[in-house]
């Protein structure tokens, strides 16, 4: 097998995520990647590699005859949103360069991919735009050396193939070592971390069983080992009609993983900033709890541990009266629950919040998993931060981390078909299709932004978030959460349950096999009602992401749970390490 065939297989893994890789071929691919990396030459005089500050980045790729354009663009867009221009620009045409100059007016970062021809006109163009923009030049060939005349960074390779183009893309964002250290995820094959791809093939059979049993129409499975995404595959379809095949970058309703990705993350941030303490009482932050004797000494940590005594949930939809909903949007009915279904204004303040405040805490001190805990924490976070939960989480985590599809209210940002549907009839609130609106009825009635549900993301988004947790709060050269805070929240904090603050942990009963019989006692994460899971195992340097829509077309079929699909796949991962 020659080098080009190796590269072809390697690129298929990145682009399609749909073909099983053979162990022997992958070993050769790993060697080929090492060769490609060794042939990269870098001039980084202004020390802008790897690229940091993704939240302030407005980046575009421009093609000057770079042969492996699509491969390069696919890889950079795994790290952050990068626009592309479809036109191939002529480096010897002043009119073409002037046109490009104007088109770049709103961008602060430009990647120029060249065929190695740095004409006098192109050199002049680069020197002009680098006066007020950061520029990276990706160059084919360096027989004449790399120009050091630019402020810009230059990455060049003399191998001229797809794999080298991919490595250049990863080097820009620190997926592979730049200046001695990789700072973001790398995208590669299991053999790069000493695993055998053949041993992971069982995952496909487990997913087939789940889909055949109508446990879920489809799913996405992603595995990160030692900071490398070594498995990222999509299975099945959005619906059982198989019209739309599941894609690896599809957006899923993460359900209760919202409790971590939004509410617990922001709580940890506020603790770091000295604005919030888990040992303080809730009356300090929510004034309406004052004067309620049972809540006067209720601590934040009791809420995070699900030991506050709250009811598991309240069926707010049973409180609805005919005039509370309408089929048309208006100022009186502004809260959208689904397509063509709206809730009256102030329903949360008038009905939902009073019902929660009147909870009598009958089981306080015991572990009772409750969605109400994160309704309360949303109020705390917003009171302390002076910012809506969705905005605070996006600004401090999702945007700077490069989680491009993560966040609340996805229909405001993405096409409907990019979002996997959850139900056709939830049996509670909506007897209609729900796609891109939160599946949880309480979160929907709150407007799609709640502390316990409403967060949507892709598998790659969750891999980034999980790696940040695994890195003890740091990612991409930036510290998001203090290591001691993250360790405190993710470690065991309860005398009556397995829980940490917000985070779930391994069950002490081996018979339950939760989340995996082979997981270490250090593992932490969460599952979601819609059929999602994220688990981080520091002992094994592992992040496992499972996304599905098991509640489609309704939640009556429990096969995903009874087949123990999520845990079985996790078991396969651990066995493949040995």
425 and 531, same domain (yes or no): yes
Per-residue confidence band for 160, with pLDDT thresholds at 50, 70 and 90 = confident
Domain final residue, candidates 184, 214, 234: 184
pLDDT at 419 over 70: yes
Is 414 within a domain?
Answer: yes
Is 200 within a domain?
Answer: no
Rounded Cα gap, residues 21 and 231, in angstroms: 10
Is 170 within a domain?
Answer: yes
Task: Quote the pLDDT of residue 181.
Answer: 81
Per-residue confidence band for 177, with pLDDT thresholds at 50, 70 and 90 = confident
Rounded Cα gap, residues 36 and 28, in angstroms: 12
Per-residue confidence band for 407, with pLDDT thresholds at 50, 70 and 90 = very high
* Average pLDDT, integer, range 467-485: 97
* Average pLDDT, integer, range 508-526: 96
pLDDT at 8 over 90: no
CATH of the domain at 494: 3.40.710.10
178 and 243, same domain (yes or no): no
Yes or no: say if 304 and 278 are a contact pair by the CB < 8 Å rule: yes
Contacts of 175 (CB under 8 A, 6+ apart): 75, 79, 169, 182, 184, 185, 186, 187
CATH of the domain at 51: 3.40.50.1700
* Average pLDDT, integer, range 463-472: 98
Kindly report, residue by residue over 237-285, the tens digit of the pLDDT. 999 999 999 999 999 999 999 999 999 999 999 999 999 999 999 999 9
pLDDT at 15 over 60: no
Is 242 within a domain?
Answer: yes
37 and 106, same domain (yes or no): yes
- Count of CB atoms situated within 10 Å of the CB of 43: 20
295 and 369, same domain (yes or no): yes
* Average pLDDT, integer, range 395-404: 98
Please choose, from the candidates 387, 359, 399, 358, the residue with its C-alpha nearest in 3D space to the C-alpha of residue 449: 387
Kindly report, residue by residue over 17-61, the tens digit of the pLDDT. 444 457 889 999 999 999 999 999 999 888 899 999 999 999 999
Rounded Cα gap, residues 128 and 114, in angstroms: 17
Question: What are the structure tokens assigned to 209, written together?
Answer: 């069983």
Task: Quote the pLDDT of residue 6.
Answer: 53
State the angle between helix axes of 3-15 and 162-173 in degrees (0 to 180), rounded to the nearest 10. Answer: 50
Rounded Cα gap, residues 409 and 258, in angstroms: 13
Kindly report, residue by residue over 315-334, the tens digit of the pLDDT. 999 999 999 999 999 999 99
Question: Domain tally for the chain?
Answer: 2
154 and 241, same domain (yes or no): no
Yes or no: say if 110 and 133 are a contact pair by the CB < 8 Å rule: yes
Domain final residue, candidates 128, 154, 184: 184
- Residue 325 bridge partners (DSSP): 343
Per-residue confidence band for 117, with pLDDT thresholds at 50, 70 and 90 = confident
Kindly report, residue by residue over 537-560, the tens digit of the pLDDT. 999 999 999 999 999 999 999 999
Rounded Cα gap, residues 125 and 136, in angstroms: 13
Please choose, from the candidates 453, 416, 409, 449, the residue with its C-alpha nearest in 3D space to the C-alpha of residue 433: 416
Task: Quote the pLDDT of residue 574.
Answer: 98
Mean pLDDT over each residue of the chain, to the nearest integer: 94
Is 197 within a domain?
Answer: no
Domain that includes residue 424, residue range: 223-576
pLDDT at 490 over 90: yes
Is 159 within a domain?
Answer: yes
Task: Quote the pLDDT of residue 22.
Answer: 76
- Across 106-110, 143-147, 195-199, 409-413, least confident range: 143-147
Question: How would DSSP label each residue in 399-432?
Answer: HHHT-TT-BS-GGGTS-GGGB---BS--SSS-SS
Peptide bond before residue 515 is cis, with ω within 30 degrees of 0: yes
304 and 245, same domain (yes or no): yes
167 and 236, same domain (yes or no): no
Is 212 within a domain?
Answer: no
Task: Quote the pLDDT of residue 146.
Answer: 77
Contacts of 13 (CB under 8 A, 6+ apart): 19, 21, 189
Yes or no: say if 483 and 502 are a contact pair by the CB < 8 Å rule: no
Rounded Cα gap, residues 6 and 11, in angstroms: 9
173 and 274, same domain (yes or no): no
Task: Quote the pLDDT of residue 343.
Answer: 98
151 and 242, same domain (yes or no): no
User: What percent of the chain has a predicted confidence (pLDDT) above 70?
Assistant: 96
* Average pLDDT, integer, range 468-481: 97
Domain final residue, candidates 166, 184, 202: 184
156 and 299, same domain (yes or no): no
Question: What are the structure tokens assigned to 374, written together?
Answer: 């994160």
55 and 138, same domain (yes or no): yes
What are 132-136's contacts with CB under 8 Å, separation 24+? 133/104, 133/107, 133/108, 133/109, 134/48, 134/108, 134/109, 134/110, 135/109, 135/110, 135/111, 136/48, 136/49, 136/51, 136/109, 136/110, 136/111, 136/112, 136/172
Per-residue confidence band for 448, with pLDDT thresholds at 50, 70 and 90 = very high
- Count of CB atoms situated within 10 Å of the CB of 153: 24
150: DSSP letter: S
* Average pLDDT, integer, range 343-366: 96
Q: ∠10-11-12 over CA atoms, to 5°?
A: 90
Is 189 within a domain?
Answer: no
Please choose, from the candidates 244, 240, 243, 245, the residue with its C-alpha nearest in 3D space to the C-alpha of residue 215: 240
273 and 364, same domain (yes or no): yes
Secondary-structure breakdown of the chain: helix, strand, coil percentages, each rounded to the nearest 5: 40, 20, 45
Type and span of the H or E element at 220:
strand 218-225
């Amino acid at each position: 097998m020659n080098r080009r065939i190796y590269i072809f297989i390697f690129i298929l893994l990145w682009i399609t995520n749909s073909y099983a890789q053979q162990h022997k071929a992958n070993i050769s691919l790993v060697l080929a990647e090492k060769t490609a990396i060794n042939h990269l030459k870098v001039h980084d005089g202004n020390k802008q590699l790897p690229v940091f500050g993704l939240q302030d980045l407005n980046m575009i790729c421009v093609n000057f005859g770079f042969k492996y354009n699509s491969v390069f663009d696919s890889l950079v867009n795994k790290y952050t949103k990068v626009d592309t221009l479809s036109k191939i620009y002529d480096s010897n045409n002043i009119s073409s360069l002037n046109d490009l100059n104007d088109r770049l007016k709103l961008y602060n970062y430009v990647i120029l991919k060249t065929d190695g021809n740095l004409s006098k006109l192109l050199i002049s163009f680069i020197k002009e735009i680098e006066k007020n923009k950061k520029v990276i030049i990706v160059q084919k060939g360096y027989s004449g050396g790399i120009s050091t005349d630019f402020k810009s960074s230059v990455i060049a390779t003399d191998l001229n193939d797809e794999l080298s183009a991919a490595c250049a893309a990863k080097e820009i964002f620190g997926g592979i070592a730049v200046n001695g250290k990789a700072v973001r995820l790398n995208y590669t094959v299991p053999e790069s971390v000493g695993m055998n791809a053949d041993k992971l093939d069982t995952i496909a059979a487990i997913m087939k069983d789940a889909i055949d049993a109508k446990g879920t129409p489809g799913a996405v499975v992603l595995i990160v080992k030692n900071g490398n995404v070594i498995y990222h595959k999509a299975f099945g379809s959005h619906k059982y009609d198989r019209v739309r095949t599941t894609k690896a970058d599809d957006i899923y309703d993460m359900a209760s993983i919202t409790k971590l990705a939004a509410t617990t993350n922001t709580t940890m941030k506020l603790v770091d900033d000295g604005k919030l303490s888990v040992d303080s009482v809730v009356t300090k932050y929510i004034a309406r709890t004052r004067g309620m004797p049972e809540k006067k000494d209720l601590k934040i940590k009791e809420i995070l541990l699900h030991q506050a005594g709250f009811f598991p949930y309240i069926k707010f939809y049973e409180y609805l009266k005919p005039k509370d909903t309408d089929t048309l949007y208006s100022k009186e009915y502004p809260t959208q629950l689904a397509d063509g279904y709206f809730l009256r204004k102030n329903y949360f303040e008038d009905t939902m919040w009073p019902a929660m405040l009147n909870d009598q805490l009958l089981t306080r001190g015991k572990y009772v998993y409750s969605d109400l805990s994160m309704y309360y924490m949303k109020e705390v976070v917003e009171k302390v931060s002076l910012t809506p939960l969705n905005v605070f989480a996006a600004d401090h985590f999702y945007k700077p981390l490069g989680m491009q599809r993560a966040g609340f209210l996805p229909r405001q940002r993405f096409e409907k078909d990019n979002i996997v549907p959850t139900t056709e009839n939830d049996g509670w609130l909506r007897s209609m299709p729900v796609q891109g609106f939160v599946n949880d009825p309480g979160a929907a009635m709150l407007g799609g932004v709640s502390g316990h549900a409403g967060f949507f993301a892709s598998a790659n988004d969750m891999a980034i978030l999980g790696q940040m947790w695994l890195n003890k709060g740091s990612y991409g050269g930036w510290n998001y959460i203090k290591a001691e805070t993250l360790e405190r929240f993710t470690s065991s904090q309860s005398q009556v349950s397995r829980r940490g603050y917000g985070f779930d942990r391994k069950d002490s009963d081996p018979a339950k096999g939760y989340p995996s019989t082979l997981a270490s006692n250090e593992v932490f994460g969460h599952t979601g009602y819609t059929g999602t899971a994220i688990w981080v195992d520091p002992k094994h340097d592992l992040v496992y992401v499972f996304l599905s829509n098991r509640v489609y077309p309704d939640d009556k079929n429990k096969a995903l749970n009874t087949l123990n699909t999520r845990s079985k796949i996790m078991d396969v991962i651990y066995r493949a390490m040995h």
